[in-house]
Amino acid sequence: MNLGEILENVQNSDFERLGVISDVEVHGLSYDSRLTTSGDLFFCFQGEKNDSHDFVYDAIKGGASALVVEREIDIDFPQVISSNSRKMMSEIAEIFYGFPSREITTVGVTGTNGKTTTVNILSAIAEAAGKKPKTIGTLTGQLTTPEAPDLQRQIRDSVGSGASFLAMEVSSHALLQHRISGMAYDAAIFTNLSLDHLDYHGDMESYYKAKSLLFTPTHSKLAVINADNEFGKRLMKDIEIPQVSFSLNDIEIIEQTIVKTTFRWKGQIIHLKLPGEFNLENALAAAVTAEALGFNREVIVKGLESAKGTLGRFELLEHSEGEPYIIVDYCHTPDGLERILLSINELLVDARTHVVFGCGGDRDRTKRAQMGMISATHATNVYLTSDNPRSEKPNGDYQ
């Protein structure tokens, strides 16, 4: 694709051209100099640890055909100067891959907890409707929400392979870093908001505002909001796009065990293969969204009942009668940890609960003491361990 033609279609990013741009051919998009190949348009921006402006010579050596930069590089080479390279990268990625999200039903899911499970339940409902679903999130890549070129390529590949429904996780980082700029989801779900990522956002208000960016006319046609969450209640008042909500008050819980939950929703009795009250919220989020998108209730029930547990999310390992239950859960926030412990204590009355947990290094330190207190309050025994210490000392996350 010709770079000049690409730039003619850029509408939401300010830029200026340096050098001969009209003759440049673009065969791919890159933001990592180590992965740049012949004909790539290379994007430069300040990352969490590195500034890719410092690696332009490596990118050129790798075969880059032009650069998108935020400051001019002193080199005789085609450059596009943008005030926000990340935002422009997102817009160009959509143009380069032919706006693939417009050819598929899309649902974005954001929130502190529940994104992965909600996405997987949505996928099960879509499959029950005879659609070919695609999911993107924590379990499908290194980032919860991929960088824009990777995201748009994945969507294009999915559409090309016949997918007609996309459910994906949208992180607060992705929203602030413009990874989904230009995408307008058919529906966007708000699962909840609680303490997390304050190492990045600074405070809960900033965290909330980042999440709320998804619920604007630019990004979503419909909002689906958890009315049981305090930030969800606030979001319902703050946004201007059409909205529906869900609440545990909308259902009747019939039976709960450590392996399943039976409940009544809109007159239908549903046997969910997922335990815990928080999974009821995830199921409701998916069901209400599917109904708003036009799925019939029979299909929704079939999808809910076919939904399987998600790896690392209240995952019950193989169990023999008389042996202890072993549960693996990703819960990495105070709210997530407390909710799963409360569920376990409710479902396994009088059981001795042993908790093994740690907190990720180089991440939000404000939640560490809270998670320790929650474990001590709701578990019989607590074992502190290291959890991906990154640059911290292996035992640093005890602090």
DSSP string, 331-382: --SHHHHHHHHHHHHHHSTT---EEEE--BTTS-THHHHHHHHHHHHH-SEE
Sheet holding 223-226, edge to edge: 133-136, 165-169, 105-110, 187-190, 223-226, 243-246
Nearest residue to 348 (alpha-carbon basis) of 319, 311, 310, 385: 319
pLDDT at residue number 258: 96
Tokens of 161: 């392979």
pLDDT at residue number 273: 98
Per the confidence metrics, is the pTM higher than 0.75?
yes
The arithmetic mean of pLDDT across residues 157-180, rounded, is: 98
Rg (CA), the chain: 23
Tokens of 44: 């430069």
pLDDT at residue number 396: 56
Domains of the chain, residue spans: 3-84, 100-306, 315-398
DSSP code of residue 310: P
Within 13 Å, how many C-alpha atoms sit on residue 343's CB side? 24
Rounded Cα distance between 41 and 66, Å, is 5
- Cα angle 264-129-142, degrees, rounded to a multiple of 5: 95
The predicted-structure confidence for 208-249, as pLDDT tens digits, reads as follows 999 999 999 999 999 999 999 999 999 999 999 999 999 999
pLDDT at residue number 394: 79
CATH T-level assignment (fold) for domain 3-84: 3.40.1390
pLDDT at residue number 97: 98
The predicted-structure confidence for 20-47, as pLDDT tens digits, reads as follows 898 899 999 999 999 999 999 999 999 8
Q: Does domain 315-398 fall into CATH 3.90.190.20?
A: yes
The predicted-structure confidence for 347-363, as pLDDT tens digits, reads as follows 999 999 999 999 988 88
Name the residue with higher pLDDT: 278 or 20.
278
DSSP code of residue 202: S
The arithmetic mean of pLDDT across residues 195-204, rounded, is: 86
CATH T-level assignment (fold) for domain 100-306: UDP-N-acetylmuramoyl-L-alanine:D-glutamate ligase (3.40.1190)
The predicted-structure confidence for 55-106, as pLDDT tens digits, reads as follows 999 999 999 999 999 999 999 999 999 999 999 999 999 999 999 999 999 9
pLDDT at residue number 22: 84
